[in-house]
Amino acid sequence: MTNQPYYETMYILRPTIPEDEVDSHLKKYTEILESAGGEVLDSQMRGKRRLAYPIGKHKEGIYVQLSHQGDGQHIAVLEKAMRLTEDVIRYLTVKQDGPLPAKRVVKTSEKNVKEDKEVENKETTTEDKDQKGDLKETKKSENKDSVTEAEGQKDIKEAKEIENKEIEKKED
């Protein structure tokens, strides 16, 4: 596979826009790109997120990412359309080198994100017997971050052991 340059445009919409209007914006900018000679490779709706700093009077925004390719002339047309609408509060286009992303359209609604977080942080209650045979209740957290952190600590320990073995080999 050859590495061809392509472009990624991330834009932030006002947080007060209804979800059906967000979809219409995505379709609108896809059509603008295609009419200007570009090809949309991937589009992802990243959902509503808190901004790092306020933009205008907004503390949140709806993030959308478009990956596209073309001769470069299509970018000016796309950015002009974004600049002229009040719904887009910020946008940025970056030229990427590397393998082209796979074509797909992923839509993430705010409801699905909340449900995923609830599942990730779910606690389960189990009953265990202590040494006397009495039942005791324990809570087991199923937080994925803590599992990832534990795995990370294990990986660091293994890497240090490998490094120490290599140092010992060099000394011999």
CATH number, domain with residue 62 = 3.30.70.60
Q: How confident is the model at residue 132 (pLDDT cuts 50, 70, 90)?
A: low
Q: How confident is the model at residue 146 (pLDDT cuts 50, 70, 90)?
A: very low
The pLDDT of residue 154 is above 90: no
Number of domains in the chain: 2
88 and 133 share one domain: no
- The average pLDDT across 112-135 equals 50
66 vs 158, residue with greater confidence:
66
Alpha helices in 49-92 (DSSP H): 73-84
Q: Which domain holds residue 88?
A: 6-116
Considering the domain boundaries, does residue 153 fall inside one?
yes
CA distances from 132 to 126, 138, 140 (A): 17, 16, 21
Considering the domain boundaries, does residue 141 fall inside one?
yes
Domain boundary residue among 93, 116, 139? 116
**pTM > 0.85: yes or no:** no
57 vs 168, residue with greater confidence:
57
Considering the domain boundaries, does residue 45 fall inside one?
yes
What percent of the chain has pLDDT above 90?
Answer: 44
111 and 127 share one domain: no
Considering the domain boundaries, does residue 1 fall inside one?
no
67 close to 43: Cβ distance less than 8 angstroms? yes
150 and 99 share one domain: no
26 and 89 share one domain: yes
At 29-50, the pLDDT tens digits run 999 999 999 999 999 999 999 9
Considering the domain boundaries, does residue 74 fall inside one?
yes
Reduced to 3 states (helix: H, G, I; strand: E, B; else coil), residue 139 is: strand
Q: How confident is the model at residue 125 (pLDDT cuts 50, 70, 90)?
A: very low
Of 110, 16, 92, 20, nearest to 60 by C-alpha is 16
- The average pLDDT across 84-108 equals 78
Q: How confident is the model at residue 156 (pLDDT cuts 50, 70, 90)?
A: confident
Beta bridge partners, 124, equal: 140
99 vs 85, residue with greater confidence:
85
Question: For the chain, what percentages of helix, strand and coil (3-state, to nearest 5) are there?
Answer: 40, 35, 25
70 close to 36: Cβ distance less than 8 angstroms? yes
- The average pLDDT across 62-70 equals 93
